[in-house]
Structure 1
Amino acid sequence: MGRGRHARRARVPFAVPAGFLVALTVGVLAWRLLEERAGRAGGAARPARPTATLTRRPSPGPSPPAATPSPSPTPGPINTAFPGLTTFRGNATRTYYGEGPVPRRPVVLWRYPPEGSMCMRSTAGGETKLWCGTGWTGQPNVIEHPDGTLEVRFGAYDGRYHFLDGRTGEPLGPDLATGDLAKGSATSDPDGYPLYYAGSRDDLFRIVALDREAPTVLWTLDGETSVPDPVWNDDWDGAALVVDDHLFVGGENSWFYAVRLHRGYDRRGRVRVRPEVVAAVPGFDDELLRALGDTDVSIEGSVAFHDGVVYFANSGGLVQGWDVSDVLAGGDRVRRVFRFWVGDDVDATVVIDEEGFLYVAAELQ
């Protein structure tokens, strides 16, 4: 079936160099955290070809002030209760890229795995091949625990999420195995709950408890069955955003979800959640599909948040803003308040500056 200029292209797998990039990124972050501590001491994708059930396009309207200002759109990391990096580009506006100073001559502290590569056979576009390394986007989380442990968390093309000691590269515990490539960026809970939010090409977005002997899946969201009209694919590439006990995420099925987490602890002191999908809306509309002539409209980037509105883009070039103020206030209503078509594929995450301006990067596909 012809798909024209929007034909899906297989992701180029990154082999051993990706391991180096992860190590280098972690090395810089580890170097910074170690310096701070020293200072204190001293003083499978199956591309869908559905006939989309077109939905009525919402009418844009003005956005009221946010019900809650948290998290604030500043360059700092989203988490303030503990040091570290908990999500892609660090914060709600996706503007945090680290802090200096950085070493003038970075060195690789360790390599994982010590020998070989992180590989798995997976099928894309009807072709099965070996994928190695880390993928789109694959940014690790770095968490400094109260006991001084520096933990690095990331997914890889071996279909697993790994939890390593940031100083040595040694595993801190068992991996979390999924059914296909774990190539997106995951999110660690920014409020200190031992929870990890991560997707996989096996269709499932997972909420994982990290306070057991092994990572334990508490809840899953299926990209294929959770909505009436999944479009294009069922993978999860973007990092979820957690705001005031709510999770916001977009999938390659081109739907945007708002999930009320109901985080807490059980009588045994173990973390628990009672997730409730309070809103799920399509990331496409009739006008976009008519303009494209196909259904290549997956959400590949991480959602961003500013002043009560969540922003994201899709592979069809549609940038949207959905007001989630009512959800954050305990309701279940979301309203689209922004629509702009850039004309071609937007895989990169939307970035928002302190004045609310959006920065959007498109590619000519």
Structure 2
Amino acid sequence: MGIAPILSKYLNLNLSENLLENKVKEFFAYLDPEIDLLIPTYLGNDQRRFYGRGTPDNFQVLDKFKLGTGITYVGKTRKVWSGAGWTGQPTVTKDRGKTYLVIGGYDYILRKIDAANNQEVWQYKFDDVIKGSSTVYIDETANEENRIVILQGSRTGRPKKGIAPSFRAISFRTGKEIWQLDIRKTRSYSRDNDSSPLLLENNLIFNAGENAIGYFINSSVSKAKIKSSILQPEVLSEIKLYVDSDAKRQGGNIVSESSPARLGNRIFLAAGSGHIYGIDIESKKIVWDFYTGSDLDGTVAISKSGKLFCAIEKQFIPGNGGVVKLNPNQKNQESVEWFLPTGNIKFNTWLGGIIGSVALNDEYNNYGEFPALFATNAIDGYLYIGSQDLTTGNKVKGPLKKFSYDTPLIVFKQKIGPSISTPIFTDGNKLVTAGYNGVYIFNLNWEFAKPDEGNVLPNAQGEFFRLIVEEAGKFTGKVSFESTPIVWDGIIRICGRDGWLYSFG
């Protein structure tokens, strides 16, 4: 006898056996879905503040996967790059009982890897190196073969007949190409695509190209049509992510590299033109604009309290780069809650500020048991951990040196060397971070404290704590890291610039 009639008799349900059988199947599918998008995009979710699950109990190299090497051109300069770099964070997806990683590398290859044994399932080759992270979504309108879709960008390569298809959709299950989007020429000097798009409701995708155009795209792969001799998705609307004066001031360097984040009915995007834009999803128009004046590379992270944490590079501005916390319900300078300036130092082509993003501990702080923290790495070589909410009482000059702002309480600051990677919080009150000097893991230990003691923070219930940070492990091995790590089932994965994807645990 099947489970449906047994349940019907036991629970005295007046349902047909077929109907109950379907209900039982739906119930068990809910408990153990065929498809589970575990880490489906850069920084994990729509608010860009989820980094995986599991507590890393050890910190030793468990395995390495060879990513390889590729040639690319920055302007007219030939570059040889290995492994994966900024942002270079794998996605994690469960399908039909197995868990897989998807990662793009500097060898032009997008790979699907079985997470259980680090074995490659398939590979797909782009026209140039892959820098950004993928976004994985479910297309309910597609056939089984194309039901799970990977969206991935790359550098441009050498456009053929003026076409730069540097943003593509790939079938997760087969590794076959579904469509390509031509990132058209604009006043931006780039036609790359580093951004990780967002899936919205009503079959909408939002993607930002490095041509400083925001694209609203139909997520249904069946709507793709031949355009300019390639199969392209249906573009429903476009938004220009700069104003003409930005292009005059910065030349072609109005490149949009960050990923969009979502708060309610608005998308927030840090644009290379110096603006942090709020875009209304329904009208598909810019409705909010905070101007920083600097190039912006880092992705906006949005806290549970609905505040924006934005990284600012030191470029085109008289003041320092750093982190600005914004209230998106206010406008212009009234939206600034605090600003953290970081040091000015020339490293590589950068002059200071932050290239990566800001990490928040919101997803690892159940019910606000502990104080709300942020963390970030800076070009000045420091890892900063601070309070999301408390300020010091001191004032600091902003990036444009026109206004003075409150500055946050920093509870931990340690020299780890210059970094463009984004740190991550994990289960078990740990933090993983990386940079050009290696990978570090820290224990975040909380001690009860009195409100009148120094350097203490309140939690959501008004209890006070002191944070004690302990370095729990370090990996150097003469390997530099630009990418952002993930953790899944307690295993840390991060791509190095030496050509390998590392697993630590």
Relative to the length of structure 1, the TM-score reads 0.67
- Which has a greater percent of strand? 2
Which of the numbers 185, 205, 213 marks the counterpart of 1:255? 213
Taking only aligned residues, the RMSD between alpha carbons, in angstroms, comes to 2.4
Partner of 1:301: 258
Partner of 1:66: none
The structure with the largest alpha-carbon Rg is 2
Specify the SS of the correspondent of 1:223.
coil
Is the contact between residue 86 and residue 187 of structure 1 (CA under 8 Å) also seen in structure 2? Answer: yes
CA distance 1:185–1:159, change in 2 (3 Å):
same
Distance in structure 1 (CA, Å) of the matches to 2:170 and 2:187: 24
Is the contact between residue 321 and residue 338 of structure 1 (CA under 8 Å) also seen in structure 2? Answer: yes
Partner of 1:177: 125
Partner of 1:201: 155
Corresponding position: 1:150 with 2:99: yes
Partner of 1:285: 243
Partner of 1:320: 277
Which of the numbers 103, 110, 119 marks the counterpart of 2:63? 110
Specify the SS of the correspondent of 1:158.
coil
Q: How does 1:206-245 map to 2 (within 5 A)?
A: 206-212=168-174, 215-224=175-184, 229-244=186-201, 245=203
Q: For 1:196, give the aligned amino acid.
A: I
Aligned residues: 261
Relative to the length of structure 2, the TM-score reads 0.49
CA distance 1:259–1:243, change in 2 (3 Å):
same
Q: For 2:43, give the aligned amino acid.
A: R
Post-superposition offset of 1:187? 0.8
Is the contact between residue 35 and residue 95 of structure 2 (CA under 8 Å) also seen in structure 1? Answer: no
What are the superposed Cα offsets for residues 266-305 of structure 1, whole Å, 9 maximum, x if unpaired? xxxxxxx983211111110134335x34231111111111
Distance in structure 2 (CA, Å) of the matches to 1:108 and 1:152: 18
Q: Which blocks of at least 5 consecutive residues in structure 2 are unaligned?
A: 1-32, 141-146, 157-163, 224-230, 316-505
Distance in structure 2 (CA, Å) of the matches to 1:305 and 1:190: 18
Post-superposition offset of 1:123? 0.8
Is the contact between residue 194 and residue 258 of structure 2 (CA under 8 Å) also seen in structure 1? Answer: yes
Q: Which blocks of at least 5 consecutive residues in structure 1 are unaligned?
A: 1-78, 266-272, 326-332
Distance in structure 2 (CA, Å) of the matches to 1:285 and 1:182: 28
Distance in structure 2 (CA, Å) of the matches to 1:295 and 1:247: 26
CA distance 1:293–1:182, change in 2 (3 Å):
closer
Say which structure, 1 or 2, has more relative contact order (CA 8 Å, 6+ apart).
1
CA distance 1:288–1:355, change in 2 (3 Å):
farther
Is the contact between residue 232 and residue 254 of structure 1 (CA under 8 Å) also seen in structure 2? Answer: no
Q: How does 1:127-166 map to 2 (within 5 A)?
A: 127-147=77-97, 149-166=98-115
Partner of 2:436: none
Partner of 2:52: 98
Percent identical among aligned pairs is 27
Post-superposition offset of 1:316? 2.9
Q: How does 1:270-281 map to 2 (within 5 A)?
A: 275-281=233-239
Distance in structure 1 (CA, Å) of the matches to 2:116 and 2:267: 36
Partner of 2:134: 186
CA distance 1:110–1:303, change in 2 (3 Å):
same
